[in-house]
Structure 1
Amino acid sequence: MPTSRKPLRPAAPAGVEAQALATRVLAMQAEAGLTIAMRMPILMKGALGDSSGQREATKAVVEKVSAVVESSFAASCAATMFWWGLALNPLAQIDLSEAAAKVANSTLEPFARRTRANAARLTGRRR
């Protein structure tokens, strides 16, 4: 049986980006669950008039709005860098899945940073 003489392709860089993205999402899920579990009693006190609970609710809303703004800016920058790279070097080999994973990673970064900080703050852990 004849064998192929084609050299084996190295692992695609997109695989590394995708793995980093999957790892980030899993870590965020765990930290978000922890944050929700730790925040619920504080928010319940706030609903009953406790000022610290009301501050926590305000902080959560402001934090989410700022994360959305920062995330959309990061996604726009990452996508723009991809398109500028393509426009300036049209003959370059482009891996669309790697570019998409980079955009997704940069989009999740503001949320990941805040989720990690909240989990640490609410559980009393120090980073």
Structure 2
Amino acid sequence: MTQTAFFVLVALTDEPRHGYGIVQEVDALSDGRVQLRIGTLYGVLDRLAADELIELDREEAHQGRLRRYYRLTDAGEAALADEAERMAEGARTAARRVEGRRGGAGKQPPGAVRPGLAGGGA
């Protein structure tokens, strides 16, 4: 899943949104790192709809123009959850590698018991 598709799905988790609303929400969610252009957005929306991850919620006329609102499907929510877990696992792997590279400060030998943790000594 592309970063853009990921953020579009995240933008649709709480409510249906129209194109410009999605652009604004993705900008906010990504702290400005993902800047969608309208042409790119509609290509992503078409692919997500074809994959049945999103669907048309409704159409409304606004200032003489038609606004299409999209919503996340159950399949879209599942795909988003899977992608979020995949990304989190990747981040955990990277963090372990960086910690190991830094000399493993605080690293316990295999099988060591850490005090205060569930199953560990007090």
More helix by share: 1
More strand by share: 2
Structures share a fold, TM > 0.5? no
Q: Provide TM-score, normalisation by structure 2.
A: 0.30
Q: Provide TM-score, normalisation by structure 1.
A: 0.29
